[in-house]
Amino acid sequence: MSDSAFRVHAMELGPMENFVYLVEDIASRRCAVVDPAWEVGRIVERARQLDLRVTDILLTHSHHDHINGIEELLEHASAEVHLLKPEYEFWAHELDKPSLHHGGDEIELGETSIRILHTPGHTPGSACYQLGNEIITGDTLFVFGCGRCDLSGGSPEDMFVTLKNMKERLPQDMLIHPGHNYSVKPTSTLGEQIEGNPFMHYDDEAAFVNYRMHVHDRTRDEPYAALSRQQLKIANLL
């Protein structure tokens, strides 16, 4: 069916509906674990079942619920840890020889090329990982939602620019793999998000910032469903 070099396997783990992803390079049997956290035994077991060797760890950002399994996973596998340099500086945590990247860098996993995008907003060095026509978005973009911007290092102005860039630069049929299962469905396409993700409807930065910081959390509940531009207008929120 597909001629792509990789497969993405999702695991929902821990008490915060985190998605941990295993990226499988089909030819080499190498595996990159994205945001190892919570139940490392299950991650290791899944890799074993799939006959994969964990060689890389990719971090979307440094929040506890996305990184709390790194050390335990490294006891099972000698893997290279990748993250963006600005996130490493923000985190101020010692890692043993991490691979520090800039936005646009390519990471080679066997025959699979993974492009790391710098997508600040939730944290200063938040990253998305693009593989072919799929993208792992961490806490930047959720299905019908986006990451909060009120925590340390967050910036709703940066998030506005990040989402605008994603809208303008990525293909509409790109498949999204978010960092949490907060929606009525686990995955979506960028085109569906442009239609139904309220954070994609704002063209004005100040209005976006107001919605993200002061309105969203008291007007919507999980699981997030689609919200059209028209619905936002009718509710006087756009």
Closer CB to Fe ion, residue 25 or residue 65? 65
Closer CB to Fe ion, residue 24 or residue 65? 65
| Shortest Å distance, C-beta 4 to Fe ion | 28
Query: Does residue 139 touch Fe ion according to CB under 5 A?
Result: yes
Query: Does residue 82 touch Fe ion according to CB under 5 A?
Result: no
Closer CB to Fe ion, residue 142 or residue 211? 142
| Shortest Å distance, C-beta 65 to Fe ion | 7
Tell me the window of 11-19, 37-45, 133-141, 189-197 that interacts with Fe ion (CB under 5 A). Answer: 133-141
**Residue 45: CB partners within 8 Å, gap ≥ 6?**
none
# residues near Fe ion by CB under 5 A: 2
Tell me the window of 15-23, 57-65, 78-86, 205-213 that interacts with Fe ion (CB under 5 A). Answer: 57-65
Query: Does residue 63 touch Fe ion according to CB under 5 A?
Result: yes
| Shortest Å distance, C-beta 118 to Fe ion | 16
| Shortest Å distance, C-beta 170 to Fe ion | 21
Tell me the window of 1-9, 24-32, 55-63, 161-169 that interacts with Fe ion (CB under 5 A). Answer: 55-63
- Would you list the DSSP string of 80-123? EEEEEHHHHHHHT---SS-EEE-TT-EEEETTEEEEEEE--SSS
Where along the sequence are the contacts to Fe ion (CB under 5 A)?
A: 63, 139
